[in-house]
Amino acid sequence: MKLVFAGTPEVAVPALDALLASGRHEVAAVITRPDAPAGRGRRLVASPVAERAEEAGIEVLKPRRPRDEDFLARLREIAPDCCPVVAYGALLPRVALDIPARGWVNLHFSLLPAWRGAAPVQHALMAGDEVTGASTFQIEEGLDSGPVYGVVTEDIRSTDTSGDLLTRLAFAGAGLLTATMDGIEDGSLKAVPQPADGITLAPKIQVEDAQVDFAAPALRVDRVVRGCTPAPGAWTLFRGERLKLVQAALVTDRTDLAPGELAAGKNNVYVGTGSHAVELLWVQPQGKKPMKAADWARGVRIAPGERVGA
């Protein structure tokens, strides 16, 4: 089939690479979000998908809005058979959905209908799911509600961050998306409607959602830290300034600390929760780079009974 691939962040690049390497389909163009300011200089930077497409010599379309008429006209000229999508980052209007003969097929990083929305991996970790995966489905105007072509599953490990899990799903999902394109092309795959039961939603994690509540049990604290790493980053307050919690670990031998209370040794930093303590391994003070929690604690000289949190 002639394909136009839509995607923006680094997590979409493995799927684009897999389609380029398949030898069965032609990736005629790529759709991605416009260049965005990045870094301290805030200069405009192309998306990872745009950079990969340019390396491969593929036409790159960067519409401000997918309903822009010049973009729609170019898409009609290309006349794709199908448009595979991975984390494009914009809602597609009906006028765009109707252009490819076999529609738009999204690779979504959950086992639908669980975790429909922008942050399925983060929500799966924060909810304590033991298994997740990726699904390919036909895009319709509802939120991730279209019929499903195929799935792959992935176990969630006890130390996974959302970054770790998303990286594994990106590569597993790349194979699933390529197989889905093959099955659509030869007619061996038919999309199956999603069940009406088991729907959960995964809206974007905002910065305020990533604030850690140390009155919660240790398991909840651990899940929030892992689910919000690397973005937007779990955080708390220390002496009135934001302290990002980069990595923590569950422990079972400290139950003597009140929620938010810190205890620093030579090589360890513990903080109390609503159950037992957790150990802080890496933190990032406001305006500084990530550092080992023990080094941070030595620098700030934690007083007895001092706490983090509101």
Q: Catalogue the E-assigned strands of the chain.
A: 2-7, 26-31, 36-38, 43-45, 59-61, 83-86, 104-108, 131-138, 148-155, 235-238, 241-250, 262-264, 269-271, 278-285, 291-292
Token pair in block for residue 44 = 């405009």
> Which residues fall within 8 angstroms of residue 286, CB to CB, at 6 or more apart?
241, 242, 243, 244
> Which residues fall within 8 angstroms of residue 21, CB to CB, at 6 or more apart?
none
Give the DSSP per-residue string, 61-110: E--SSTT-HHHHHHHHHH--SBEEEES--SPPPHHHHTSSTT-EEEEESS
Kind of pairing between the strands at 43-45 and 104-108: unpaired
CA distance 308 to 310: 7
Phi, psi of 231 (to 5 degrees): -135, 140
Token pair in block for residue 21 = 């390497």
CA distance 84 to 106: 6
Residues 285/290/294/297 CA torsion (nearest 10 deg): -10
Annotated binding site for (6S)-5,6,7,8-tetrahydrofolate: 110-113
> Which residues fall within 8 angstroms of residue 235, CB to CB, at 6 or more apart?
207, 210, 211, 212, 242, 243, 244, 245
Annotated binding site: 110-113
Count CA atoms closer than 13 A to 115's CA, side-chain side: 23
Token pair in block for residue 67 = 């309903």
